[in-house]
Amino acid sequence: MNTNERLQRLLKERGWSMYRLSLQSGLSQATLANIFRRNTIPSIATLEAICTGFGITLAQFFAEGEMVEMTPDLKELFDCWVCLTVEQKAAALQMLKAMSHEN
């Protein structure tokens, strides 16, 4: 899938207009319209802004398969997770599994 197809798919999945993406990404509607109309590949900086607007990383944008949206809560959890030792990660995972089985 090419970049523009991926952008169109993300817009469609979210039910977003280019205007909404413009607001979320901080890019002008003209910039986004040019990308779609001219079928051009956006610069890395522009694509990063678009990904930020969608709440995903560049890696998620280019990943094949299902992606997980990086919400502020998930980012906070991830930032804490990467600082843990292997033992702490095992304990945290065990605790999370136990809590999810309680519901």
Using CB atoms within 10 Å of the CB of residue 80, give its burial: 0 to 12 exposed, 13 to 18 middle, 19+ buried: exposed
* Number of separate domains in the chain: 2
Q: Where are the alpha helices (DSSP H) in 1-103?
A: 3-14, 18-25, 29-37, 44-54, 58-62, 72-81, 86-102
Could you tell me the pTM of the whole model?
0.62
Q: CA–CA distance from 55 to each of 45, 61, 103 (Å)?
A: 15, 10, 28
User: In terms of domains, do 35 and 84 share one?
Assistant: no
Return the residue matching tokens 């030792």. 85
Distance CA 39, CA 67 (A): 24
Give the pLDDT mean for 47-75: 83
The residue segments making up the domain with residue 92 are: 72-102
| pLDDT in the model for residue 91 | 95
10-49: pLDDT as tens digits: 999 999 999 999 999 999 999 999 998 988 889 999 999 9
| pLDDT in the model for residue 71 | 76
| pLDDT in the model for residue 80 | 87
Assign residue 22 the CATH number of its domain: 1.10.260.40
User: In terms of domains, do 49 and 78 share one?
Assistant: no
Residue 64 corresponds to which amino acid? E
